[in-house]
């Protein structure tokens, strides 16, 4: 199939930051790395927090389920290494401050693990018809798969057939629009057939009649690899490729749907309301592993990158490995390193404690230098709003960031709600373009936290 590599699909708003993908785009995924211990967070998804199924000093096997919650919206957690439970302790968490984790001390001889990735398993020999929808759904649930693009919503809940909201179109998100990050790009090149096997399983279980894999046009090799594999599997006409324009945040669910299908997800709504299911490419690969190999989500590909890292690369790392160990594995920090971010520079969260473990949704560790952050932003120097309107033009959700931020700053939360603070996806595009260095996204995030606290207090 000949696929147009030039992206013709786009959405209103957005920005064009330097993508910085060159630091790791050619770095093949490195396998066999696991930290000295794994700290498995009991909360790494949207929904009910897991309860531990193991106790201190228990012997555990690789892939063993060690935490779960029977609530409908939840996902179990599993042990990535054979070893012993050292304890259940609080560990630093980028969003929650500190959160409970099961600490596993690994058996050094048993740490390395490689996924099977041959075309014989996921390529021409793969046939989704040998699995029933129930089997697929059950395998996804048992494997603890969640949205690996960052959302962390349990995939089994998202993917199943819902008679009230039938799904028609499956969009597989291969955009990876955040600067610096290349983990999804690498798996599109190296796990192409595994992704396609997951896509076919996801299509079967969701009941979607149409499938599109959306990839930004700054990744022509990924577009080529996917197109070739689709042709080799004789799936032309069944799975399409949509080359989308390179623009941030093209990978946002709502922006991607607008770009590819020219349809709007209602404000405050979710894609299934308009018959659309969006899955990240890494999530589809995890689906294939869970269904075909019966493996739980215990490892993921993480990009360790930025000008503050000596040897940036991509790693297939055990979930629960600390940021510090992954940075050490990448040669350590450069002398100029000043900020460590869990995620990318636009939507990621700065962390001060490097013992923070990676979770199912950690796609990258980005370390920036003073030069990358920018002198003015580094010194925190803000000036008054000059009413240039750039933040309004950049906002992909058609919001007025400056008005929302102003309302939050003056503790007028009702006004912030009227300006639709809840519609903000926290993409950071407004802060990025602001010439006055106003941390608009920071104010908005704070406003959301204050509104949630207010709601909780009113409910008590």
Among 238, 426, 439, 446, binds ligand SF4 (CB under 6 A): 426
Among 385, 412, 413, 451, binds ligand SF4 (CB under 6 A): 385
Q: Any contact of residue 413 with ligand SF4 (CB under 6 A)?
A: no
Q: Any contact of residue 399 with ligand SF4 (CB under 6 A)?
A: yes
Q: Any contact of residue 386 with ligand SF4 (CB under 6 A)?
A: yes
Q: Any contact of residue 402 with ligand SF4 (CB under 6 A)?
A: yes
**Closest to ligand SF4 by CB, 294 or 435:** 435
Evaluate the omega torsion of the peptide bond into residue 109 and state whether it is cis, within 30 degrees of 0.
no
**Closest to ligand SF4 by CB, 145 or 434:** 434
In the bound complex, what is the minimum distance in angstroms from residue 436's beta carbon to ligand SF4?
A: 4
- Candidates 75-83, 100-108, 205-213, 391-399; binding stretch for ligand SF4 (CB under 6 A): 391-399
Evaluate whether 113 touches 289 at the Cβ level (below 8 Å).
Answer: no
Which residue in 364, 427, 33 sits closest to 186, CA to CA? 364
Q: What is the rounded distance in angstroms from the CA atom of residue 283 to the CA atom of residue 159?
A: 11
**Closest to ligand SF4 by CB, 115 or 423:** 423
Q: Any contact of residue 166 with ligand SF4 (CB under 6 A)?
A: no
**Closest to ligand SF4 by CB, 175 or 211:** 175
- Candidates 213-221, 234-242, 392-400, 452-460; binding stretch for ligand SF4 (CB under 6 A): 392-400
Among 143, 229, 281, 427, binds ligand SF4 (CB under 6 A): 427
- Candidates 85-93, 176-184, 336-344, 434-442; binding stretch for ligand SF4 (CB under 6 A): 434-442
Q: Any contact of residue 387 with ligand SF4 (CB under 6 A)?
A: yes
- Candidates 208-216, 370-378, 389-397, 450-458; binding stretch for ligand SF4 (CB under 6 A): 389-397
Q: Any contact of residue 397 with ligand SF4 (CB under 6 A)?
A: yes
Among 395, 407, 408, 416, binds ligand SF4 (CB under 6 A): 395
Size of the site for ligand SF4 (CB under 6 A): 29
Evaluate whether 34 touches 318 at the Cβ level (below 8 Å).
Answer: yes
- Candidates 34-42, 127-135, 217-225, 423-431; binding stretch for ligand SF4 (CB under 6 A): 423-431
- Candidates 35-43, 186-194, 440-448, 449-457; binding stretch for ligand SF4 (CB under 6 A): 440-448
Name residues whose C-beta falls within 8 Å of residue 446's C-beta, 6 or more positions apart in sequence.
Answer: 408
Q: Any contact of residue 394 with ligand SF4 (CB under 6 A)?
A: yes
Q: What is the rounded distance in angstroms from the CA atom of residue 67 to the CA atom of residue 89?
A: 14
**Strands, sheet with 210-216, edge to edge from the N-terminal-most edge strand:** 239-244, 210-216, 169-173, 276-280
Among 161, 273, 349, 388, binds ligand SF4 (CB under 6 A): 388
In the bound complex, what is the minimum distance in angstroms from residue 267's beta carbon to ligand SF4?
A: 12
**Closest to ligand SF4 by CB, 35 or 428:** 428
Positions that interact with ligand SF4 (CB under 6 A)? 385-391, 394-397, 399, 401-402, 424-430, 433-436, 438, 440-441, 444
């Amino acid at each position: 199939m000949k696929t147009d590599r030039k992206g013709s699909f786009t959405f209103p708003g957005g920005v064009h930051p330097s993508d910085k993908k060159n630091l790791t785009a050619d770095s093949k995924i490195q396998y066999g790395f696991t930290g000295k211990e794994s700290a498995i967070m009991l909360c790494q998804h949207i929904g009910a927090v897991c309860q531990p199924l193991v106790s201190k000093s228990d012997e555990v096997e690789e892939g063993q389920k060690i935490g779960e919650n029977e609530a409908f919206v939840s996902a179990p957690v599993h042990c990535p290494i054979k070893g012993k439970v050292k304890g259940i302790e609080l560990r630093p968490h980028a969003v929650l401050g500190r959160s409970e984790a099961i600490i596993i001390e690994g058996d050094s001889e048993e740490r390395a693990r490689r996924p099977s990735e041959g075309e014989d398993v996921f390529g021409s020999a793969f046939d989704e018809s040998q699995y029933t929808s129930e089997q697929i759904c059950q395998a996804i649930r048992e494997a603890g798969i969640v949205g690996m693009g960052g959302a962390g919503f349990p995939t089994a809940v998202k993917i199943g057939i819902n008679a009230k909201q039938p799904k028609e179109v499956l969009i597989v998100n291969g955009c990876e629009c955040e600067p610096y990050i290349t983990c999804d790009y690498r798996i599109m090149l190296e796990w192409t057939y595994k992704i396609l096997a997951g896509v076919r399983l996801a299509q079967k279980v969701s009941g979607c009649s149409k499938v599109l894999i959306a990839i930004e046009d700054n990744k022509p090799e990924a577009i080529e690899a996917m197109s070739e594999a689709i042709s080799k599997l004789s799936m032309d006409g069944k799975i399409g490729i949509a080359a989308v324009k390179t623009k941030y945040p093209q990978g946002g669910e709502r922006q991607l749907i607008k770009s590819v299908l020219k349809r709007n997800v209602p404000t405050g709504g979710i894609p299934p309301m308009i018959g659309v299911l969006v899955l990240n490419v890494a999530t589809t690969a995890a689906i294939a592993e869970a269904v075909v190999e019966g493996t739980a989500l215990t490892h993921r590909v993480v990009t360790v990158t930025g000008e503050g890292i000596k040897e940036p690369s991509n790693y297939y790392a055990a979930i629960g490995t600390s940021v510090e160990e992954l940075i050490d594995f990448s040669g350590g920090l450069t002398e100029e390193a000043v900020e460590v971010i869990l995620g990318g520079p636009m939507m990621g969260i700065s962390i001060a404690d490097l013992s923070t473990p990676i979770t199912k949704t950690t796609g990258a560790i980005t370390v920036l230098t003073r030069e990358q952050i920018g002198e003015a932003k580094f010194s925190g120097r803000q000036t008054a709003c000059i009413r240039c309107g750039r933040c309004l033009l950049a906002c992909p959700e058609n919001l007025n960031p400056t008005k929302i931020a102003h309302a939050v700053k003056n503790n007028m939360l009702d006004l912030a709600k009227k300006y639709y603070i809840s519609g903000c996806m926290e993409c950071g595009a407004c802060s990025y373009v602001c010439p006055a260095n106003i941390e608009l996204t920071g104010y908005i995030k704070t406003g959301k936290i204050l509104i949630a606290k207010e709601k909780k207090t009113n409910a008590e």
